Amino acid sequence: MEQPRRPASVAVLGSCITRDNFNSRFNPDYKRWYSCDLLQNQSSLISVMASAFSPEWVATKEFNAEGVRRIESEFDKSFLSDLVALQPDHLVIDHFGDVHLGVVEVDGVTHVTDNRWTMHHTSWYQEMADSGRLRVIDPVADADEYLALWRDAASRFADFVSRNLPDTQVIVHRGHSTSRLRLPEKPGTVGLHRARGGKRIRVEEVNPRWRALDDELAALLGAEVIDLTASEWATIDDHPWGPFHVHYEMGYYPLFLAELQRLTLQRVAPAEVVEVVNEILGVRARAASARSTDDAALLERERLRVRRLRSRLKKAEEGSRLRRAVRALRG
């Protein structure tokens, strides 16, 4: 009798755009395939690679256990040692922290992420800022200095991954910020800031910087890339965390998981199986686009193609080469 398949372990260095894909509210069946065992949430890569320290601090607002852990990890820099201990099957990285938040330099010797949702609500941050011992380095206002710091951190991180995670598949998740809100009662989309207020973000400036960081890090790491930015993904009021620039429509998350499955298969499956899977995913992406444009005829054509491709895949699954690949996946 075959042993149950072990879900692949995943570590995330990023934000909700990546972590939400491993949440049953977004992908109900993800646990069949993946276990998200380590998260460094909303951290700048500069902070991750900076020197650890142990300040005393108390929260100035209520945090749950995960919020406390996020703050502590900014100080103790434990993510790297946790990565080595875990040896995850996949490490997925997004650059939310380096695009939206930035860092503060601490006493001229180390850095933490300048996170307005966590770090700003600690006694430590307030006291250090009041005494002039923090220097904000903003990815926009201090672009040249910030990029130099990020490039140094990225180079050291790539060396760390190469030395310590030889069997981990590293994936850069290409993020983007949206300025559009989709409303169920209206065709198309409306401006997020105009409709819901909040902080205005110039996405035409933010997104090119985000893409540039993704490109550089992927090249340094020799990483795979999950890129769903060919389609416009607006935000929605019904998102579990509410409308925001990186809280995408719910159709985004199954497509991400499908892309991750494709990259997993590419490592172990025969070429003809990978070809069929890639074609199925392409059809699904076009079908999703058809839904967003209300193109019913195109949607029906793509559904028919999916059925034909599934028939081809079923025949391919009968071959011994695929059975060997499945056994390798179950490892």
pLDDT at 1 over 50: no
pLDDT for the residue numbered 31: 95
Over residues 24-38, the mean pLDDT reads 95
pLDDT for the residue numbered 318: 63
Which DSSP string do the residues of 249-304 spell out, in sequence order?
Answer: -TTHHHHHHHHHHHHHHHHHS-HHHHHHHHHHHHHHHHHHHHHHHT-HHHHHHHHH
Question: What three-state secondary structure class fits 180?
Answer: strand
Which DSSP string do the residues of 54-100 spell out, in sequence order?
Answer: -----BSS---HHHHHHHHHHHH-THHHHHHHH--SEEEE--HIIII
What is the C-alpha to C-alpha distance for residues 194 and 250, in angstroms, rounded to an integer? 22
Question: What three-state secondary structure class fits 168?
Answer: coil
Over residues 198-213, the mean pLDDT reads 87
| 8-12, 111-115, 252-256, 271-275: segment of lowest average pLDDT | 271-275
What the block records as the tokens of 127 is 């006291």
pLDDT at 61 over 70: yes
Tokens 């995408």 -> residue: 248
pLDDT at 201 over 90: no
285/105: higher pLDDT: 105
Burial of 135 (0-12, 13-18, 19+ CB in 10 A): middle
What the block records as the tokens of 61 is 């607002």
pLDDT for the residue numbered 331: 53
Phi and psi at residue 39, in whole multiples of 5°?
-135, 125
Query: What residues form DSSP beta bridges with 92?
Result: 12, 171
pLDDT band at residue 316, thresholds of 50, 70 and 90? low
pLDDT at 71 over 90: yes
pLDDT for the residue numbered 240: 93
Span 258-274, pLDDT tens digits: 999 989 888 776 777 76
β-sheet with 8-14: strand ranges across = 34-41, 8-14, 90-93, 169-173, 224-226
Over residues 45-53, the mean pLDDT reads 98
